[in-house]
Structure 1
Amino acid sequence: MERVGSGAYSDVYRARRLSDNHIVALKEVHDYQSAFREIEALQILQNCPNVVALHEYFWREDEDAVLVLEFLRTDLATVIHEAKKKEGGVPLGEVKRWMLQILGGVDACHRNMIVHRDLKPGNLLISDDGVLKLADFGQARILMEPGFVADNVNEQPYEQNAGHQENISPPSDAVPEADSLPDQVEEDVTREEYLRQLVELKAKRHSMDETDKDTNINDGDTSCFATGTMSDIEDDHLRNSYSYEAGEGGDDRQGALTSCVGTRWFRAPELLYGSIDYGLEVDLWSLGCIFAELLTLEPLFPGTSDIDQLSRIISVLGNLTEEVWPRCSNLPDYNTISFAKIEKPTGLEACLPNRSLDEISLVKRLVCYDPANRATAMELLNDKYFAEEPLPVPVSQLYVPLTKNEDDEDSPGGWNDYNDMGSDSDFDDFGPVNVRTTGSGFSIQFS
C-alpha cells in the first residue's frame, strides 16, 4: 500500500494480506545475514507479548528476504517527541508502564540468551491499544542455542499462542515465551547463578569461535573508530556512521562478535572501546539510556561521533579506570585512546534534574561502567519502584500518538536504518589532539 521506511539494508511497506484483508508490515531485507538473524530471533520469541510478531516470511526471486510482521504505526520515540509539546511531559504512571513493557520484552530476549544490540526508542514500536513491542532484530545475536537456557535456567514452559503461528516452524529446541507478563515476575534465578551461567556461556562461545575463526569474517580487536593501520584510517577510523549494520559488522552466529553494532547514543562503553567479548549487558546500558530519555525527554548521551560519545560518558561518569571496572584495561582500545583526567564528573544526578532519588537510582543501576554491576531486566521488573505510588497505569490508559513522527532527529529509529548522523573525522570540538604512530597502528589522546 505504501512504503513506511527505508534504509541501507531494508525497506518496509504497509500492506494488506489478500487472504483476509489483514494489515501487515512487509520488511524486505537486502542483507542475508541480517534477515537470518531477525527470523531466527523472532521465531524463538514469537509468543512474547512485548516482541513484534512475525506472521510468516518468504524469499523474493532476487534473493531478498521478506518478513511479514504485524503492523504497528508508532513508536516510543514519537511518544517522547509528542510529550515535549505538553507541559509536564509523560505522566509518571505512564512512564512506569512503558518501562515495564520494555523490561518485559528485554527479559524475554535475555532469558533466551538473545542480545538485541540495537535498543533505542525508535525500535520500540507501539500498537494502537498501547502495547509496546521490541522490533528490528536485524543485529540480534543468539549467544547460545535456546536449549542451553531451558536446561540451565529451569525455565517454565509457556502456553503457545496460536495467533502468531502462521507459516512458521520454530526451532525444535526453542524456548516458548509467555502469553502475558505480569508487572512482577518471580525471580527464579539468583544474580550469582545468572552471572555464573553467563561466564560458562562466554567460555563455550569462545571455544566455538576458536574452531570457526579461520572461516568466519572477523573484525578482530578493532572498534568502530579507534584501532587500525595507517593505511586504513580513512576507511575505518574516520567512517561516517551513526548506526552500524550486520553486513558491516563482520560477525555471524558462530563467529566472534563485533563492536560495531547498535546506535551510537545507546551504545555501551565496552563497544566504544572495541570489545568483541561482551554479552547481554550491552542491552542493559541501552535500557538505562532509554529510561533516562523517557524521564527527561532528552537523549542522555547525544554524541556527534564515537569519540564525542565516549567524551560525554566520561564527563558524566568520570574516567574509566580499574577501580570502577576491574580489567577494563584489557579492552582492545583502552590504551589507544585516552582522555584528560576528569576531576569532577557531573554525575547522573545532573543529567536527571528534578527527578526522584528512586528514578536516579534506577538509571544508575543500568548506566555504569562495569557490565557485571548492571541490573538485569528480571531484577528491575521486581524493583519496588514499580510498586510505589503513583502506580503504573493500565495499558489501556496510555497515550498513544496516532502516527509516527518522521522527522525526529534526536532519537531516530523505527523501521529504518540510520547511517549519517555525524562523522568521527570531526575532531575540532575536542581541543588539542595528539596522534602518534605505534608499532601496530596509532594512538590518540584528547585533552
Structure 2
Amino acid sequence: MPKYGFISRIGQGSYGVVMKARVIETGKTVAIKRILLKNDSQSKLELTREVLCMQNCKHENIVELFEVIEEDSTISLVMEYLTTNLKHVINDVHRPINDHYVRFYFIQLFKGIDFLHKMDIMHRDIKPDNILISSNNKLKITDFGQSCLHCPELPEENYGNQAGTRWYRAPELLFGATVYDPKIDMWSCGCVLAEYLNSCPMFPGRNDFEQIARIMNVLGNPNNETWPGWEDLPDSKKITFEKVNAVDDWGTVAPMGSEECLQLLRSLLSYHSVKRPSAEECLRLPFFARPILESIDYVPQPQQKNPLSTQVVYQYDDIQTAFLSLDDL
C-alpha cells in the first residue's frame, strides 16, 4: 500500500525538491525534502550534519523530523509541515506591525535559537525563508543544511566563512573569519528583525563588497573601538571604503520600531560579536519583559506553489517513483 500521497511542490533548489504530502494511513500532512546525493565530501558532511541536528533537536520551535528514507541516489527527510514562512508573512501588506506582534514571533525565534546554541549548534543560515509559521502562528526553525557543531573547547576551530545567505551573513564572515561562535546567528536574527519592521531586507547586497558597504552605511566604518581585532581578519585590508559615520538615530533605520525594540535591534547588529546578546540574554531584555500575547488574530496566508492537482492526491509505493514523476505532472 502506498505510504504517501503527494499534493504539491513547495520548494526547489540545488539540494533537490521539497514536497507537501499526506500520510495515506493517517491523513497527516507532512513535508518531504528529497536531497540528491553527491559524491563530494562536503555535500555528504552537510547532509550528515542536517540529519543529526534534526534528530537531536526536539523543541517546540524547531521543525520535527519524522523519518529518514535512504534510496539509491537520494535521501528523503519526512518532516513536520507548516503552512507558510516568515518571508511570506513579511511580504503580506495586510499584516499588523506593532510590538505585540514582534514580541509574539521573536520570543519564539529566540527560544528556538537558545535551544540550538545550548546544544552547541550553530544554524548558520537564519533568514525569513527558514523560519516556518503554522496556521495558528506557531514559529519553527528549519533547514539545517549549513548547521554545524560549535566546539567551545577548541577556540581555534576552523568553521569556514561561506556559510549562510549573504544578506544575513555576519560581518566577521564577510571579512573572511573562519574562527567564530554562535553569535553569527544573532546577527542574522537582527537582520530578520529589521526586515520584519521595515517589510524589506536590511542589507540586500549584490556581492560581498556591496554587502559590507551597506552595513557600514548604518554602523559606520569598523575600528578598534567598535570592533577590537577586526584588522586581524583575513580580508580586512583587501579593500578600502570611504569614511562613513554610524547612524545616531536608529529610528531612521527602523521607523516602525519602539524604543525598546530598537534597543534590541541595535544590540544584535553590533560589529563585535562579543557585544551581541545571546538568545537567552535577548529574552531578558526590557522588550520581552512586557506582556506576551498567547495568540494573535492575524491569520498567515498559506504558501501555494505548483499544485499537482486540485482533485487528485497522487500516490506512489515509494518516494523515488513519486519524485521521478514530478516532471510529468
Superposition TM-score tier, normalisation by shorter sequence: 0.7 to 0.9
Equivalents in 1 of 2:213, 2:285: separation in Å?
31
1:292 partnered with 2:194: yes
- Which amino acid in 2 is paired with 1:137? F
Match for 1:94 among 91, 95, 101?
101
- Which amino acid in 2 is paired with 1:13? M
For residues 135-284 of structure 1, the aligned pairs below 5 Å read: 135-144=142-151, 198=152, 200-203=153-156, 206=157, 256-284=158-186
In the alignment, what sits opposite 1:69?
79
1:58 partnered with 2:69: yes
Indicate if the aligned counterparts of 2:269 and 2:276 stay in contact, CA closer than 8 A: yes
Determine helix, strand or coil for the equivalent of 1:337. coil
Match for 1:330 among 229, 232, 257?
232
Equivalents in 1 of 2:221, 2:304: separation in Å?
37
Task: State the Cα distance separating 1:138 from its structure 2 match.
Answer: 0.3
Determine helix, strand or coil for the equivalent of 1:4. strand
For residues 384-399 of structure 1, the aligned pairs below 5 Å read: 384-388=286-290, 391-395=291-295, 397-399=296-298
- Which amino acid in 2 is paired with 1:138? G
In structure 1, runs of 5+ residues without a counterpart are: 145-197, 207-255, 407-447
- Which amino acid in 2 is paired with 1:32? K
Determine helix, strand or coil for the equivalent of 2:240. strand
1:127 partnered with 2:134: yes
Provide Cα deviations, 1:414-435, integer angstroms capped at 9, x if missing partner. Answer: xxxxxxxxxxxxxxxxxxxxxx
1:370 partnered with 2:269: no
Indicate if the aligned counterparts of 1:139 and 1:262 stay in contact, CA closer than 8 A: yes
Equivalents in 2 of 1:398, 1:345: separation in Å?
35
In the alignment, what sits opposite 1:318?
220
Equivalents in 1 of 2:224, 2:136: separation in Å?
47
- Which amino acid in 2 is paired with 1:18? I
In the alignment, what sits opposite 2:34?
28
Equivalents in 2 of 1:286, 1:37: separation in Å?
20
Provide Cα deviations, 1:266-299, integer angstroms capped at 9, x if missing partner. Answer: 1100111111001101000001111111222222
Q: Provide TM-score, normalisation by structure 2.
A: 0.84
Equivalents in 2 of 1:129, 1:119: separation in Å?
22
Indicate if the aligned counterparts of 2:177 and 2:233 stay in contact, CA closer than 8 A: yes
Determine helix, strand or coil for the equivalent of 2:252. helix
- Which amino acid in 2 is paired with 1:129? N
In the alignment, what sits opposite 2:22?
16
Task: State the Cα distance separating 1:343 from its structure 2 match.
Answer: 4.4
- Which amino acid in 2 is paired with 1:65? I
Residues 1:49 and 1:343: Cα distance change in structure 2 (over 3 Å) = closer
Equivalents in 2 of 1:132, 1:3: separation in Å?
21
Residues 1:3 and 1:258: Cα distance change in structure 2 (over 3 Å) = same
Residues 1:310 and 1:405: Cα distance change in structure 2 (over 3 Å) = farther
In structure 2, runs of 5+ residues without a counterpart are: 1-5, 37-42, 306-329
- Which amino acid in 1 is paired with 2:117? H
Indicate if the aligned counterparts of 1:79 and 1:400 stay in contact, CA closer than 8 A: no
In the alignment, what sits opposite 1:43?
55
- Which amino acid in 2 is paired with 1:42? M
Determine helix, strand or coil for the equivalent of 1:351. coil
Determine helix, strand or coil for the equivalent of 1:308. helix
Equivalents in 1 of 2:252, 2:301: separation in Å?
33
Task: State the Cα distance separating 1:201 from its structure 2 match.
Answer: 4.2
- Which amino acid in 2 is paired with 1:341? K
Determine helix, strand or coil for the equivalent of 2:205. coil
Task: State the Cα distance separating 1:402 from its structure 2 match.
Answer: 2.9
Task: State the Cα distance separating 1:401 from its structure 2 match.
Answer: 1.6
* Stretches of 4+ aligned residues off by more than 6 angstroms: none
Residues 1:344 and 1:34: Cα distance change in structure 2 (over 3 Å) = closer
Indicate if the aligned counterparts of 2:63 and 2:140 stay in contact, CA closer than 8 A: yes
Provide Cα deviations, 1:171-201, integer angstroms capped at 9, x if missing partner. Answer: xxxxxxxxxxxxxxxxxxxxxxxxxxx4x34
Task: State the Cα distance separating 1:120 from its structure 2 match.
Answer: 0.6
Match for 1:404 among 276, 287, 303?
303
- Which amino acid in 2 is paired with 1:306? D
Residues 1:332 and 1:42: Cα distance change in structure 2 (over 3 Å) = same
Task: State the Cα distance separating 1:35 from its structure 2 match.
Answer: 2.0
Residues 1:347 and 1:370: Cα distance change in structure 2 (over 3 Å) = farther
